[in-house]
Chain A
């Protein structure tokens, strides 16, 4: 198996899920509809996550404050991995931590696990304290710990994301995942108290799309790495636009909550969009919004 389904580029654009937006074991049919499944973030030790309420909707945004609930790398290897392997979907593991050594611990374990096709470094969770090291330092540490393809997931809140993209590329990243959520806060209209137990959370939904377009566009010009574009994608046209600014693959996030089989619809819409515009494949369109094309995933494999 490669890091994506072998035929992922046949006519369309590889479609993944955004980390934390799908549990392949609860929804195996949905996972099988993807070109790769990205796990919820795994940390060195088990985490209970944040207290509820963890979810709120406000003004077209979804707020979440899950807090990286996960069984830890040991629990994940023992309980989740055998079941995920049986799904026969290329498996990407999202890795998180609170220091460079946390990322190293998990990446060293994953390096030994054959069915893990790629590692996404969650460098931008809005709901936990961040590691003190820079994104580039974390990527460099993970790079020393594994030969697996490494994708650096960055926040759209970075003031100069293209600079960070250059730094993580120099540190050994094989690709970028753009973007994570931004921080937001919602108040109960009566009590004027935060609706989430911990106050602020990660905001996602259609409004994130303009941020992800900007970030993919800026980073695709800065580095020669494949980019998984994500943030507010809900339609085939949204996929088309991210590819036009330089994405090589696209991940669906919040839309999966409302519509589990969104990948099937989005693919069909994308095929119709491409046909209407006279493109034989999405590859012809890649990077149309910028001067030169962008790399496909072969370079990361």
Chain B
């Protein structure tokens, strides 16, 4: 090996933050209605700030899949996965004895210095909410889903949340004075919240190849320009 190469290390400076890439064992894969909670042995990985994300190796796929941390039980990292394509279905099919490479934590999480937090999420956008709720000591939460099977995860992970199912929209539950809104969900929902509560912290999502600023694939329009969500966001 050439002398210029640094010693292999699992710690890397990525997007101005230290992240690690490790092979993590699967502790369990729990079906929660339409979603699956994938629990991994934590190893030396840091859970990071709520709203940050990890790139999870999806068996049989070329690219890893970005997932925000859902829960950080002792010794584990848990991710809420919606099996909508080959990658997410492969993740939901994992079981004890399997292991996958995980890179993270990546990106900017939520700013936790808030006075009157209100969590708002739609669909699998509820993924970061349990960990965020824990960090903020259980603030009120509004969750919207497209059906009862999807809402089941909310009952398991955030039992005190107010839950609505389509055709009712989660934005219809927003009080006149919502306080500090921290939200994650599909783009139309986030756009609607931005209209109603311009100060809201919004966690966006986009297809991502790398999660660390290399591919320029995950751009969203920020202040009239395309910016990489993995570096500038995902919480903006």
Instruction: List residues of A whose CB falls within 8 A of some B CB.
Output: 5, 7-8, 10-12, 20-23, 25-30, 32-33, 35, 40, 48-49, 52-57, 60-62, 64, 66, 69, 205-206, 254, 256-261, 263-265, 267-268, 271
Indicate whether A69 sits within 8 Å of B216 (C-beta atoms), given known contacts A29-B12, A257-B63.
yes
Q: A270: nearest residue on chain B (CB-CB)?
A: B1
Given contacts A261-B8, A268-B1, 7 further A-B contacts (CB under 8 A): A8-B4, A27-B214, A29-B6, A64-B217, A260-B21, A261-B9, A264-B5
Asked if A69 and B219 make an inter-chain contact with CB atoms under 8 angstroms apart, the answer reads yes
16 A-B pairs with CB atoms under 8 Å apart are A10-B3, A11-B2, A20-B216, A21-B214, A23-B213, A30-B12, A52-B206, A55-B215, A64-B215, A69-B219, A206-B62, A256-B210, A259-B21, A260-B14, A260-B214, A271-B1
Nearest CB in chain B: distance from A243 CB, A: 15
Pick from B1, B15, B21: contact of A267, CB below 8 A.
B1
Asked if B12 and A27 make an inter-chain contact with CB atoms under 8 angstroms apart, the answer reads yes
Asked if A260 and B213 make an inter-chain contact with CB atoms under 8 angstroms apart, the answer reads no
Asked if B219 and A62 make an inter-chain contact with CB atoms under 8 angstroms apart, the answer reads no
Instruction: List residues of B whose CB falls within 8 A of some A CB.
Output: 1-6, 8-9, 12-16, 21, 55, 57, 61-64, 86-87, 101, 103, 206-210, 212-220, 225-226, 231
Q: Which residues of B contact A52 (CB under 8 A)?
A: 206-207, 217-220, 226
Indicate whether A29 sits within 8 Å of B214 (C-beta atoms), given known contacts A57-B87, A267-B5.
no
Nearest CB in chain B: distance from A300 CB, A: 19
Asked if A49 and B13 make an inter-chain contact with CB atoms under 8 angstroms apart, the answer reads no
Report which residue of A5, A21, A54, A264 has the largest number of chain B beta carbons within 10 angstroms of its beta carbon: A54
How many A-B pairs have beta carbons closer than 8 Å: the answer is 141
Indicate whether A5 sits within 8 Å of B2 (C-beta atoms), given known contacts A27-B14, A258-B64, A259-B101.
yes
Q: Which residues of B contact A256 (CB under 8 A)?
A: 210, 214
Q: Please list the 8 inter-chain residue pairs (A to B) with the smallest Cβ-Cβ separation, ordered nearest first.
A: A26-B213, A55-B217, A257-B210, A257-B209, A55-B207, A54-B217, A23-B213, A66-B216
Indicate whether A26 sits within 8 Å of B214 (C-beta atoms), given known contacts A49-B226, A54-B207.
yes
Alpha-carbon gap, A205 to B61, bound state (A) = 11
Q: Which residues of B contact A57 (CB under 8 A)?
A: 61-63, 86-87
Alpha-carbon gap, A214 to B9, bound state (A) = 35
Q: A52: nearest residue on chain B (CB-CB)?
A: B219
Q: Which residues of B contact A7 (CB under 8 A)?
A: 2-4
Q: B55: nearest residue on chain A (CB-CB)?
A: A258
Nearest CB in chain A: distance from B165 CB, A: 21
Asked if A35 and B226 make an inter-chain contact with CB atoms under 8 angstroms apart, the answer reads no
Nearest CB in chain B: distance from A64 CB, A: 6
Indicate whether A260 sits within 8 Å of B12 (C-beta atoms), given known contacts A52-B220, A66-B215.
yes
Q: B84: nearest residue on chain A (CB-CB)?
A: A190
Alpha-carbon gap, A28 to B13, bound state (A) = 7
Pick from A23, A29, A35, A61: contact of B13, CB below 8 A.
A29
Asked if A48 and B212 make an inter-chain contact with CB atoms under 8 angstroms apart, the answer reads no
Q: A271: nearest residue on chain B (CB-CB)?
A: B1
